Amino acid sequence: MKRKPNIATVAEHAGVAVSTVSRYLNDRHVSQKARAEIAKVIERLGFTRSSTARNLSLGRHGCIGVVVDSSQDPWFTRLLGGIETELSKRDSSLMLASTELSGTYDPGIVFEWIRERRVDGLIIAKSQRRDRPLIRRAVDAQIPAVLVAPDEAFHGVQLVRCDNRGAGVVVANYLVQLGHTRIAFAGGPRHSIDSKHRLEGLRKGLQKHRISLDPTWVFSCGSYEAAAGDAFARQFFEATLNLTAIVFANDALASGFMRVAHQRKTRIPEDLSIVGFDGLPEDDLLWPALTSVAQPMLEMGSAACRWLFEAIDSPGRLQTIEFPMLLTVRESTAAAPVRVRAIASSAS
């Protein structure tokens, strides 16, 4: 049985040292003459280098870590699809950690990855204030990290995020074109940067049309879960508000709100138009289908993975990329009613 050629075989046939072949394979400096000879020998022998050997020579593990609060999140599954697409082009694998796998926040496994240097880099999705110690540990350990859609300000890492302010302006322009002037905003947690930036954009867009966003029509739902949108709706319908549209900081809040609105016999969009953020596949399954500003999750995942490998190869580079968001109009929005009626509970 013919033995598979290795680096030593290539070096022998090319008349160079093994270290020279290693430098060639790792894209390091090799003379023009030696480079040409090594390339010819590799082609003649049919030499292929194992990814394991390459990673060992570079002092790497050939594995990246991906961290999120819950891997069951529909937003994350699309992001993961983009990461996997990019990763398929590379000699590397992936380890996944959900920091709320047991129902409570526990980043212990990720701290182990960092402490034992089991990963060459980290992609952390939807990082929050509570993740600060984790990210600081990665930075101190000089493990490259890319944050995707961080909901808190972080330094010393790569950032992939969306233009939330610009998206808020787009929503404002769209609703005004439909004749809406009495518009509310319902955000997630009060400290959420995404909520703040989306609100800033909405307010800025309305101001361009000389419409003020009434401070009493700006609400915080406390979290981004559908249950929080449900709870907010039950409080909302206890009040009497002359509104024609509500903009929610994400789709889950909007879906929770819409469920209660149907129970209370509020017609969407005839009585009240609803807009969300994120653009999840489930938006088409709601009734009525949800108008939303979509994040390009697949593209964001691919960019995060690509940038992480650039940071692994060239440590110290810090970049931020901001993706535009696309307004997808569906059935949950319509022209403002000519005669505005108070929205309140009509449940018996």
CB atoms within 10 A of CB 24: 23
What's the rounded Cα separation, in Å, for the pair 113 and 18?
A: 33
Cross-strand partners of 328: 292
Residue range 284-300, pLDDT digits in tens:
889 999 999 999 999 99
The domain limits of the chain are 7-49, 63-163+296-325, 164-294
Residue whose C-alpha is closest to residue 158's, from 122, 193, 133: 122
- % of the chain surpassing 70 pLDDT: 92
The pLDDT > 90 percentage for the chain reads 61
For residue 343, the model assigns a pLDDT of 57
Q: Tell me the pairing of strands 93-98 and 63-68.
A: parallel
Tokens encoding 304: 């995060």
Residues near 2 by Cβ (< 8 Å), separated by ≥ 6?
none
More confident residue, 22 or 127: 127
pLDDT at residue 37 in the model: 87
Rounded Cα distance, 268 and 261, in Å: 8
Q: What is the pLDDT of residues 152-210, one digit of tens each?
A: 888 888 899 999 999 999 999 999 999 999 999 999 988 899 999 999 999 999 999 99
How many other CB atoms are there within 10 angstroms of residue 126's CB atom?
Answer: 21
pTM strictly above 0.85: no
| Length of the chain (residues) | 348
Q: Are domains 63-163+296-325 and 164-294 of this chain identical in fold? A: yes
41-97 pLDDT, tens digit each = 888 887 776 555 554 444 555 799 999 998 888 889 999 999 999 988 877 889 999
CATH superfamily of the 63-163+296-325 domain? Response regulator (3.40.50.2300)
Q: In the structure encoding, which two tokens stand for residue 4, read together?
A: 């598979």
- The dotted CATH code for 164-294 is 3.40.50.2300
Q: Distance between CA 186 and CA 200 in Å, rounded?
A: 13
**Number of C-beta neighbours around residue 320 at 10 A:** 11
What's the rounded Cα separation, in Å, for the pair 120 and 60?
6
Confidence band (pLDDT; 50, 70, 90) for 318?
confident
Q: What's the pLDDT score for residue 147?
A: 95
pLDDT tens-digit map of 267-286: 999 999 999 999 988 888 89
Say which residue the tokens 């490998």 belong to: 309
Token readout for 233 is: 């709706």
Q: Which residues contact 202 (CB under 8 A, 6 or more apart)?
A: 168, 169, 171, 172, 183, 185, 213, 247
DSSP assignment of 19-87 equals: HHHHHHHTT----HHHHHHHHHHHHHHT----HHHHHHHTT--SEEEEEES-TT-HHHHHHHHHHHHHH
317, burial (CB in 10 Å: exposed 0-12, middle 13-18, buried 19+): exposed
3-state class (DSSP) for residue 149: coil
